[in-house]
């Protein structure tokens, strides 16, 4: 089941994120955030953007959220998406369903373009974004250094809606029905 994240979910999400930081170059963070840091991140982001979890039998198996893509005013209709699944839950369709729900909510809020920024080392996520209809728009070679080597990033883009904005995107209400 997909539902909105609440403060009680933050420790479980942090545990899902932990191995990505410690064992992979999928994120360029070097150190696992503290619970206080991760909670502050959740509170800051969820004030404007959807933050969703996939829960099954009371366990959180993954989460996804949108965030600001860039800080300048002209970019306010763009969002950067992130998704992390428990590593034993990859390839089960959870990511697809979380992204579809997240995209629907962002579209409803008034966002036009979403991005997925993926390390080129993460071939699975690159394939996932392509399968979800994202197109590669940029590639930055050797821009992130982790675990003693350089990694690049691939920028994926998907347009959620056409036309011109008539007003700024609305803040996320916490509802999960698009």
Domain locations in the chain as residue ranges: 2-114
Largest CA-CA distance found in the chain, in angstroms, rounded = 47
Tens of pLDDT, residue by residue over 101-144, are 999 999 999 999 999 999 999 999 999 999 999 999 999 999 99
Q: 3-state DSSP call for residue 132?
A: coil
How does residue 178 score in pLDDT terms, banded at 50, 70 and 90?
Answer: low
Mean model confidence pLDDT for the chain: 96
**pLDDT score at 146:** 98
**Is the pLDDT assigned to residue 14 strictly greater than 70?**
yes
Tens of pLDDT, residue by residue over 30-55, are 999 999 999 999 999 999 999 999 99
How far, in Å, CA of 33 to CA of 107, rounded? Answer: 30
Give the DSSP letter string of 74-115.
GGTTEEEEEEEE-GGGTTSSHHHHHHHHHHHHHHHHT--EEE
**pLDDT score at 176:** 78
How does residue 19 score in pLDDT terms, banded at 50, 70 and 90?
Answer: very high
Contact status, residue 7 vs residue 15, Cβ threshold 8 Å: no
Give, as one character, the DSSP assignment of residue 89.
Answer: G
Question: What's the CATH superfamily of 2-114?
Answer: Gcn5-related N-acetyltransferase (GNAT) (3.40.630.30)
Residue 137 has a CB neighbour count (10 Å cut-off) of 12
How far, in Å, CA of 148 to CA of 151, rounded? Answer: 10
**pLDDT score at 84:** 97
């Amino acid at each position: 089941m997909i539902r909105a994240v609440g403060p009680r979910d933050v420790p479980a999400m942090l545990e899902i994120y932990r191995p990505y930081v410690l064992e992979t170059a999928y994120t360029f963070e070097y150190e696992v955030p503290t619970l206080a840091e991760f909670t502050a991140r959740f509170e800051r982001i969820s004030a404007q953007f959807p933050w969703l979890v996939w829960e099954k039998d009371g366990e959180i198996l993954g989460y996804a959220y949108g965030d600001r893509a860039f800080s300048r005013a002209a970019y306010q209709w763009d969002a950067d998406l992130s998704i992390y699944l428990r590593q034993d839950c990859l390839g089960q369709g959870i990511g697809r369903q979380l992204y579809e729900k997240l995209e629907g909510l962002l579209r409803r809020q008034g966002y036009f373009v979403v991005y997925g920024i993926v390390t080129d080392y993460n071939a699975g996520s690159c394939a996932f974004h392509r399968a979800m209809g994202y197109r590669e728009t940029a590639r930055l070679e050797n821009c992130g250094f982790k675990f003693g080597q350089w990694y690049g990033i691939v920028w994926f883009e998907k347009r959620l809606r056409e036309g011109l904005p008539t007003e700024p995107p609305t803040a996320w209400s916490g509802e999960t029905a698009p």
